[in-house]
A and B are shown apart, each in its own frame.
Chain A
Amino acid sequence: MTKKQKDYSKLKNQLQLQSMVIPGIIFLLIFAYIPMYGLVMAFKEYNVFTGLSDSPWIGFKFFIEFFKDPYFINVMRNTIFLNLAGLIIGFPAPIILAILICEIRSIRFKRVVQTVSYLPHFLSWVIFGGIALEMLSPNGILSYFMQMIGLSSKPVNFMSQADRFWIIYIVIIMIKNVGFSSILYIAAITGIDQQMFDAAEIDGASRFQKILRITVPSIMGTIVILLIFQISAILNTGIEQFLVLQNSLNLSWSETIDTYVYKVGLRQGRYSFAASVGFFKSVVSVILLVIANRVSRKVTGKGLF
């Protein structure tokens, strides 16, 4: 090959590579960056007909309106409370499950437990939530169970009790996701050098000592990274499961920022107001991510970036 030919094929290959990456970048510019730019509407009185650039600036008006809204405290309380409770109960659960699964001695039984515990994660929220609603209805099994053990003399409608929404929600979320969340920890535990356990065995360590002194420290890195993710997502609840489980009776406990933005923005058409609420959420999430990451770097020496 002459030098000229070589240069030509180099250029050709570079162009081909660019033709692979640039469409992806264009995709993100459109579907991720334009909406980010669109956030300026939070500071404007957006009107569908005049368009974004011609809408008048109004500064922080909608932010102030949101903070002063009596609903604000309610929505914030639900969002933070549900996530925090989910974090405190829901975060250790998959770790414990992973450790217990790895302690199972029969390989076949272990595999069955794994298979079964991942399954609910793959059912859609409509189906899983729909089943939960059925089981919690006055005609459902839980109401029957309550009557059977004498806790109630008449059928119970669990979903109409607003103050119980959070416990119902956390239990449902746990059943759906605990198995799946344990996968990463199981992988981390499987990756631990078996010699460590053998050495501990010789030294006379008990099962619990091995778990506490070897297993848990070994998967600390995985734990920290997942914890950072969860903390930064504290204002994030997702919408799908809430819209299935919500009803007019439990709304005071089940309305979160995400569902609120959806309803105010898209159902009532108050775009700018909803965008400012969403903006507030995004900014808080980024700040939390940075803080959580920094704290984790200081304390454990591990972090995301």
Chain B
Amino acid sequence: MRQKAEIFDYVNIFLMTIIMFIMVYPMWYIIVGAFNEGADYARGGVYFWARKLTIENFQAIFYQKAILQAFWITILKSGIGTITSVFFTTWVAFGITRPKLKGKKIYIPVIMFTMFFSGGLIPYFILISDIGLYDNFLVYIIPTLFSVWYMIIIQSFLRELPEALMEAATIDGASEYKIFFAIVLPLSKPVLASITLFTVVGHWNVYFDSMMFTSSQHLETIQYYLRKVISDPGVSGSISNAGAAEIPDSLNTITPQSVKFATMVVTALPIIMVYPFLQKYFVKGLTIGAVKG
């Protein structure tokens, strides 16, 4: 029996090592490509190490206004969008969790129903156009202000807070706003941290909003820019050729493909950087909401 268990352990470690390789290798693959000379990469065979090491691909990014602009929009949208959305969702979640709130019998079904049924893409698109958000920077902020899913997660955290604390504050004459800002917000740091990280990653990673709801180039996000470059060879050609006027001659080893790799690496970088924090919190955040289902 004991021996059998030990074999199992070795097999398990072996399996896990393979799985880890499969998870990490794609990221490594693109990093190697981004640090390799573009012309040389096109010959093939650059799979594990850079054959001709260079940072020109990264330098080329800084000469292309379209990419820089796309990064800027993405940073703005992720920053503003996350702060407003986390605040507003917490604000509503607090109100709906308070036992004293009147009208819960109406509010809660109205909220929950939206989890199970939606109007779908087309009516939503028409709404966005009708209220003037189409091709407007605010389309990145306003429609994502409130998330029912995150509200539920925050709620299940708030319910764990000792009711006596807020009761005492009420007796001392504290208003609900005061309780929210002075007691609940500081105590909710763990759940707010996880929601913030989820939201910021979601904002950073999505390209669909940019593709659907904007048409001007200056509103394009980096993800949408990349997606055009990746799936449309025509655009891919323009990434360094059409922009050639902007790129100095000294960067002569780059190709559209190698600059694309570098852009992908730079785009993934913030995610990789917040990942350690993310990991600390998201397990907690996920499981708070999930225990209830």
Known: A36-B119, A124-B205. A14 touches B100 (CB 8 A): yes
Can you list 8 A-B contacts (CB < 8 A)?
A: A13-B175, A20-B96, A24-B88, A32-B119, A37-B123, A124-B268, A183-B282, A275-B123
Question: Distance (Å) between the CB of B122 and the closest chain A CB?
Answer: 4
Q: Are A278 and B100 in contact (CB under 8 A)?
A: no
Chain B: how many interface residues by the 8 Å CB criterion?
91
Asked whether any CB of chain B lies closer than 8 Å to the CB of A17, the reply is yes
Of B173, B286, B290, the contact of A9 (CB 8 Å cutoff): B173
Asked whether any CB of chain B lies closer than 8 Å to the CB of A300, the reply is no
Of B26, B95, B107, B201, the contact of A135 (CB 8 Å cutoff): B26
Question: Distance (Å) between the CB of B239 and the closest chain A CB?
Answer: 13
Residues of A within 8 A of B290 (CB): 184, 187, 222
Interface centre among A17, A135, A179, A207 (most CB of B within 10 A): A17
Asked whether any CB of chain B lies closer than 8 Å to the CB of A218, the reply is no
Asked whether any CB of chain B lies closer than 8 Å to the CB of A225, the reply is yes
In the complex, which residue of chain A has the Cβ closest to the Cβ of B120? A278
Q: Are A206 and B20 in contact (CB under 8 A)?
A: no
Stretch of B3-11, B52-60, B157-165, B248-256 at the chain-chain interface? B3-11
- Majority SS at the chain B contact face: helix
Residues of B within 8 A of A52 (CB): 126
Asked whether any CB of chain B lies closer than 8 Å to the CB of A153, the reply is no
Q: Are B226 and A262 in contact (CB under 8 A)?
A: no
Known: A41-B123, A244-B230. A16 touches B175 (CB 8 A): yes
Known: A14-B102, A134-B33. A101 touches B26 (CB 8 A): no
Asked whether any CB of chain A lies closer than 8 Å to the CB of B187, the reply is no
Known: A36-B117, A274-B122. A141 touches B29 (CB 8 A): yes
Q: Are A183 and B121 in contact (CB under 8 A)?
A: no
In the complex, which residue of chain B has the Cβ closest to the Cβ of A124? B205
Asked whether any CB of chain A lies closer than 8 Å to the CB of B216, the reply is no
Asked whether any CB of chain B lies closer than 8 Å to the CB of A57, the reply is no
Asked whether any CB of chain B lies closer than 8 Å to the CB of A113, the reply is yes
Q: Are A265 and B122 in contact (CB under 8 A)?
A: yes
